[in-house]
Amino acid sequence: MRNSPKKSWVVIFLTLASLLGPRLFAQQPAPARTASTSGAPTIDQSLEMKAASSPEISPDGKRVVYEVSRTNWEDNAFERDLWIADTAGGEGHPLTASKKSSSNAAWSPDGKRIAFLSDRPGQISGSPEGKKQIYVLAADGGEARQVTKVETGVNIFAWSPDSKKMAFSADDPEPKAMKDRKEKYGDYEVVHADYDMAHLWTLELPAEETASIREPKRLTGGTAFSVGEFSWSPDGTRIAFSAQHDPDLISSESADIYVVTAGDLKVKKIVNTPGPDRNPKWSPDGKQIAYETSAGSKYFFYTNMKIAVVDADGGTPRVLTDAFDEDPGLIGWAPDGIYFAAEQKTSAHLFRLNTGTKAVEKLSGPDHLTAFSFSFSKDYKQVAYRAALENEYAEIYTTSVAPWEGKKLTALGEQLKGFQSARREVISWKSTDGQTIEGILLEPRDFDPKKKYPLLVVIHGGPTGVDQPVLGADRYYPLERFVARGALILRPNYRGSAGYGEKFRSLNVRNLGVGDYADVISGVDALIAKGFVDRDRVGSMGWSEGGYISAFITASSDRFKAVSVGAGISDWMTYYANTDITPFTPQYLHATPWDDPEIYKKTSPITYIAKARTPTLIQHGENDRRVPIPNGYELRQALEDHGVPVKMVVYKGFGHGITKPKQQRAVMEENEKWFLKYIWGEEPAPEAPEKTDKSEKK
């Protein structure tokens, strides 16, 4: 489900595969592994694939720091380390290698130091266990030094322009009144009242590495607002930040833009537009601030976000991207314009906005590139990013902004040697109302259109997620293993998906499930019409919104032989009354269940449960607040009452996402067994975990 108006906040739980730097492969080859007899990775091998993300280029454009994930089976965790590579030679090596994770790297503006967050055991006495703190190390390497000891942990941070200070946000610690209440009455929560507000602090860093660290200075406080994103003014005297009434997701529409003066702590609200205003970035001269805004749209969950600018002292905002038909993710404001990222159907690109003419120029290429996470050198001439072309694994790249000539810094494809990855291609078809729908079709490498293949439909979440034709390590669903067994896989970008513009994202308004189901079924029919799909062996699976559409398939069709519903909605009324993001359904259905019970009934799978015939696997996190688990229990009971084969698996201690490797292994194995049974007619024994040296698993 979407948990904010920005596309970047959509909760999508198919974790990307990892990257390894090229030097790692040169110096420490990955252990030899034997692929399964099908040519696909085992489930453990897929879960162990590494991913690189979050590249940060140095101010001079000569080096890039990025994160590399690893799977720690012993501690049952996905963890991250920092790597660094030269942009000239492309040779990467580890920058950190401690217990727990290191992430969110940021170069000091003078290029001499790198700061990052880590939840490693603290160096400072009394550091709270498991909380992220800021660490700083010399850019040339060495031992990282802990510089904060925040009780609740650091949320985000940013260097000051002179490299002498940092600003960071952190949740306020539990106040004495709350501690006294717990002591007297025990622990309980007052709903929509007991909040821990996030606030801004600054920290002066000593010039000498051995000098003692000063105590942080509070910039904001109180209960009037909770701080989100922020950025320093070019002269380092002010900080612009977004803040909303409280940290609750349902309060996202109250986010506005503020400026605080670091010297006298004066706070001024400079933007107060209805709907969310977020992610402020200063102009190079410090006179204006750019930010992302819903521009007053009531239904900002699916309408376009826009980039606007306002004077740093306040005034009338000016929207600059009315003509750009997608959600722009604001990156920064350079002398030659404002840079932002956006999805374009099944690709994603970097753009530059001319603040005078409002003209938008696409900078990245080729057109079918999928690129994210852009980071610029100080002069905005060099950029680092993560990207992939069709049928490629995502890598870390660097290039000059003009001409755009992407240079690969990582060697991720090495992980796929010995496996026969499915081939991805973008296809399209007409839905029942004539709307063109695109999707990604996964085919075996030896695909023969004269043969008949089982078809599995894998449906993304969001609904404003989007599937792209790039390779990635499987999570939740063992897609490569299904394809290796001879299946085709369709990943539809149904109405509501991102990348296709506001009108397309609006097509499932008051039409959730119904229109989405039509898009999926029409895609299945289009492939059957081509003659290579076995219409008697079709299945569906998905998580979150994808689980909802799969539940709709279970309740509305007898054409599928198996369905897997992951954290899916079965009843919008049940969802609305229990979710942590109650604005979702009023945004899409334009009503509450009290005002229009019929639209809630029309779009709820449970309404059609009497038609259900399809064996259904239900998977759900015990503590899911986004799609609360009563949705899973309601669907399970209804299917059982109607004599439909059903199995429900509850993952203890997890929320909307299943985020640890052992439980992801369980999710994958359950899905593999379910579809092997009902699509292939097999009763597979559970796959035993590989016996691998413990040091390799860490």
* Overall CATH class of domain 421-678: alpha beta
pLDDT at 36 (0 to 100): 41
Q: What are the tokens at 687?
A: 């796959």
Mean pLDDT of 172-189: 95
Reference 410, options 380, 373, 385; nearest CA is: 385
- Residue 89 has a pLDDT of 82
Kindly report whether the peptide bond that precedes residue 444 is cis, defined as omega within 30 degrees of 0.
no
Question: Nearest to residue 228, comparing CAs of 262, 202, 252?
Answer: 252
Residues in the chain: 698
Determine the Cα–Cα distance for residues 281 and 339; give it in Å rounded to an integer.
10
Judge contact between 587 and 576, C-beta under 8 A: no
Compute CA 677 distance to the chain's CA centroid, rounded to the nearest angstrom.
Answer: 32
Please say if the pLDDT value at position 238 is more than 60: yes
Confidence of residue 685 (pLDDT cuts 50, 70, 90): low
Please report where in the chains the tokens 């965790």 appear, as a residue: 77
Q: Rounded to whole angstroms, how far apart are CA atoms 208 and 671?
A: 55
DSSP state of 614: S
Answer for the pair 670, 649: CB distance below 8 angstroms, yes or no: yes
pLDDT value of position 1: 56
Mean per-residue pLDDT, 86-99: 88
pLDDT of residue 97: 85
Calpha distance 685→364 (Å, rounded)? 48
Q: How confident is the model at residue 683 (pLDDT cuts 50, 70, 90)?
A: confident
Out of 89-98, 432-441, 672-681, which region has the weakest mean confidence (pLDDT)? Answer: 89-98
Is the predicted pLDDT of residue 17 greater than 80, yes or no? Answer: no
pTM (2 d.p.): 0.93
Which of 10-19, 84-93, 534-543 comes out lowest in average pLDDT?
10-19
Q: How confident is the model at residue 424, as a pLDDT? A: 98
Measured CA to CA, the distance from residue 110 to residue 470 in angstroms comes to 36
| pLDDT tops 90 at residue 593 | yes
Cα distances (angstroms) measured from residue 491 to each of 42, 90, 519: 22, 34, 11
Q: Where are the domains of the chain?
A: 421-678
3-state SS class at 323: coil
**The pLDDT value given to residue 693:** 46
* pLDDT surpassing 80 at residue 37: no
Would you list the DSSP string of 177-221?
A: HHHHHHHHH-S---TTT----EEEEEEE--SSTTSPPPPPEE---
How far is C-alpha 229 from the geometric centre of its chain's CA atoms? Answer: 17
| DSSP letters spanning 438-449 | EEEEEE-TT--T
**Secondary structure of residue 481 in the 3-state scheme:** helix
Which residues lie below 8 Å from residue 454, measured CB to CB, with a gap of 6+? 486, 487, 488, 533, 534, 537, 538, 539, 679, 680
Segment 574-589 shows an average pLDDT of 97
Compute the average pLDDT of residues 352-376.
98
3-state secondary structure at position 553? helix
CB atoms within 10 A of CB 4: 21
List the one residue out of 413, 408, 360, 354 whose CA is nearest residue 384.
Answer: 408
Q: How confident is the model at residue 142 (pLDDT cuts 50, 70, 90)?
A: confident
Residue 34 confidence (pLDDT) above 70: no
**The token pair that represents 2 in the structure block:** 């979407």
Per-residue model confidence (pLDDT) at position 689: 58
Mean of the pLDDT values across residues 253-275?
A: 97
